[in-house]
């Protein structure tokens, strides 16, 4: 979210607590009991008396312990995969990154099902340049982070165009791709307005038939020239037959909004610094390499990788998808008990938002280890060759042609909270974006705990007023009482954070609520939650060290408690009124159009 897109009206944070609820809490077993059992399950009948109401609810729930690591990592493909020998040879060092466009490429889809087919388009700066094409699956792998699964040597390069990444090469005025005969520049929309879209439109150079044995996950193609220059191509492998507890969403729509290959992205053009609003792309194409993150997408390697390393190290049997996949196949949510959002997950289609809202009503758990979620409304359209979901539309204002037609006005791409959409994120998340940027130089700030009586803090050692250092940034959420949020949202943190652009101090919160009697929705309220779970990042080329976040075992325990609650339901203290307030439509009065945005 860029700072100058902020809503003109600053939301006021009000901590709203549930009514007093009395219940029978289960005793915590001793450490010796935990070590002697793989899984200990209690069942009890809880009578919940709500405030002064005479309503009494009988709820039978299971309360189970987090299994010891040795037993938790048995009998699931993620654990078996991470037990295989890993390698760090997938990591691109600073001097090796092909920042001057020596080699780059993109996948023809954001993901592929196990056993399916995906293609790649690779370009070298000069025709005939030799290169290798290796694929790695990312995970924990003894801390090495990856395992090589595929290799093609002696590839002969096609010179299809290149772009110089100005974040690494200074003093250059190049703002567009060079020598790109196939590139599509700035097609006009239906109202003859500039879109500033750039589509590389390269020829396919490799087609991969993915073995059915490949495990769902994040994958990287590592391209390496004969001179040792390297770049990545990211893609996700899905398992469309899997049913399970955890579905992790890769935030590819936000990766692409930030991707300035060709000199433009959804925020502006690039001449060494993003220039907001000047020539920003109203449409971004997926037919482009990523810049920054060494070609993997800056946002993925800044936060999502830390989460996937953590959950795979701990043996959670996760499955992976993307925003695009939930948009084109919303029924995927019905196969999993929970959806997990990680990092910076700002750009959402209406199909995804409807699917998630409906799934919450039907008992799906939601864990948002993220911030600025679902802030901007997008839509997809086919590319020039007719391939679906390859162009992402976001006008940001009422110049969108969809707004001009009464039949399509609800397709207008603006922040969800702005007219004519008028639907704030907290309707289903419980919180909403309220702060972009942090301290000078984008340094992170501290997370302050305020309600350790709640179940997710059990065994963490945290007490009210304790801080977890450095995980607040760079986009953060707050609890806002705008009368459309679910009833009885409970805040569990209250962090004073500073917006360097506006010189404001704002309260940021983590919070949760119960969409149904046996499900929960949790929002951590910060993009950088996962940086407290895993310390990967110092060795890759972009300046990850500017965020010196230390792993905090207390945050790891809170995260484990939330993950464990999906498969081992805890004694939820809910009230009957909360069940009468599922996610729904908004009646909030939004800020003016042109304010509000998302980084």
Average pLDDT of the residues in 387-406: 97
Q: Does residue 63 register a pLDDT over 60?
A: no
pLDDT of residue 549: 65
Residues 540-552 pLDDT 10s: 444 444 555 678 9
pLDDT of residue 175: 72
DSSP-assigned beta bridge partners for residue 264:
269
pTM: 0.85
Q: Does residue 374 register a pLDDT over 90?
A: yes
Locate 590 and state its tokens. Answer: 């939004």
**What 8-state DSSP symbol labels residue 301?**
I
pLDDT-derived band at 426 (thresholds 50, 70, 90) equals very high
pLDDT-derived band at 570 (thresholds 50, 70, 90) equals low
What is the C-alpha separation between 567 and 505, in angstroms, rounded? 38
Locate 496 and state its tokens. Answer: 């004073």
What is the C-alpha separation between 389 and 329, in angstroms, rounded? 12
Q: Does residue 597 register a pLDDT over 90?
A: no
pLDDT-derived band at 115 (thresholds 50, 70, 90) equals very high
Helix (H, G, I), strand (E, B) or coil at 416: coil
CA dihedral of 281, 283, 286, 291, whole degrees rounded to 10: 10
Q: Which is more confident, 497 or 155?
A: 155
CA dihedral of 377, 400, 270, 222, whole degrees rounded to 10: 50
Residues 222-260 pLDDT 10s: 999 999 999 999 999 999 999 999 999 999 999 999 998
Q: Are 398 and 414 in contact (CB under 8 A)?
A: yes
Cα angle value 507/509/513 (rounded, 5°):
145
């Amino acid at each position: 979210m860029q700072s100058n897109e902020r809503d003109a009206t600053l939301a006021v944070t009000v901590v709203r607590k549930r009514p007093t609820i009395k219940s029978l809490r289960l005793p915590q077993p001793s450490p010796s009991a935990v070590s002697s059992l793989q899984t200990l399950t209690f069942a009890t009948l809880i009578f919940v008396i709500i405030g002064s109401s005479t309503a009494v609810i009988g709820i039978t729930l299971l309360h189970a312990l987090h299994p010891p690591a040795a037993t938790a990592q048995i009998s699931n493909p993620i654990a078996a995969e991470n037990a295989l020998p890993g390698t760090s040879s997938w990591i691109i060092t600073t001097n090796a990154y092909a920042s001057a466009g020596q080699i780059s490429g993109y996948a023809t889809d954001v993901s592929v099902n196990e056993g399916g087919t995906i293609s790649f388009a690779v370009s070298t700066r000069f025709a005939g340049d030799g290169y290798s094409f290796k694929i790695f699956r990312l995970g924990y792998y003894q801390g090495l982070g990856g395992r090589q699964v595929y290799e093609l040597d002696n590839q002969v390069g096609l010179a299809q165009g290149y772009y110089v990444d100005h974040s690494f090469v200074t003093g250059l005025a190049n703002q567009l791709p060079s020598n790109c005969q196939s590139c599509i520049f700035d097609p006009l929309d239906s109202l003859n307005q500039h879109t500033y879209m750039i589509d590389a439109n390269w020829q396919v150079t490799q087609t991969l038939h993915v073995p059915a044995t490949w495990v769902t996950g994040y994958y990287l193609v590592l391209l390496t020239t004969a001179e040792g220059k390297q770049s990545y191509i990211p893609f996700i492998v899905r398992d469309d037959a899997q049913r399970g507890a955890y579905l992790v969403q890769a935030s590819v729509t936000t990766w692409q909004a930030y991707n300035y290959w060709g000199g433009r992205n959804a925020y502006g053009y690039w001449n060494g610094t993003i220039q907001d609003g000047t020539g920003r792309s109203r449409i971004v194409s997926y037919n482009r390499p990523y810049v920054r993150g060494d070609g993997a997408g800056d946002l993925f390697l800044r936060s999502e990788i830390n989460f996937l390393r953590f959950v795979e190290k701990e043996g959670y049997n996760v499955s992976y998808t993307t925003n695009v996949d939930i948009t084109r196949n919303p029924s995927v949510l019905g196969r999993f008990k929970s959806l997990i959002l990680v990092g910076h997950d700002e750009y959402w289609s209406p199909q995804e938002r409807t699917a998630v809202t409906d799934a919450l009503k039907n008992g799906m758990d939601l864990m948002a280890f993220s911030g600025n979620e679902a802030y901007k409304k997008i839509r997809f359209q086919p590319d020039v060759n007719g391939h679906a979901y390859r162009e992402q539309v976001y006008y940001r204002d009422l110049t969108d042609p969809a707004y001009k037609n009464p039949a399509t006005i609800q397709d207008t791409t603006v922040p969800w909270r702005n007219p004519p959409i008028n639907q704030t994120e907290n309707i289903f998340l419980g919180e909403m974006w309220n702060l972009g940027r942090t301290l000078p130089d984008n340094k992170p700030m501290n997370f302050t705990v305020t309600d350790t009586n709640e179940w997710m803090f059990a065994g963490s050692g945290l007490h009210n007023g304790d801080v977890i250092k450095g995980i607040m940034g760079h986009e953060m959420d707050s609890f806002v009482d705008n009368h459309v949020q679910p009833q009885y949202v409970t805040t569990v943190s209250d962090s004073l954070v500073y917006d360097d652009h506006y010189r404001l101090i704002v309260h940021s919160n983590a919070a949760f609520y119960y969409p149904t009697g046996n499900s929960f929705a949790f929002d951590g309220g910060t993009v950088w939650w996962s940086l407290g779970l895993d310390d990967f990042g110092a060795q890759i080329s972009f300046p990850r060290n500017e965020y010196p976040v230390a792993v905090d075992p207390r945050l790891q325990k809170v995260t484990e408690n939330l993950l464990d609650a999906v498969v081992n339901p805890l004694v939820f203290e809910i009230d009957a009124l909360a069940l009468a307030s599922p996610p729904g439509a908004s009646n909030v009065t939004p800020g003016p159009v042109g304010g509000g945005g998302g980084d």
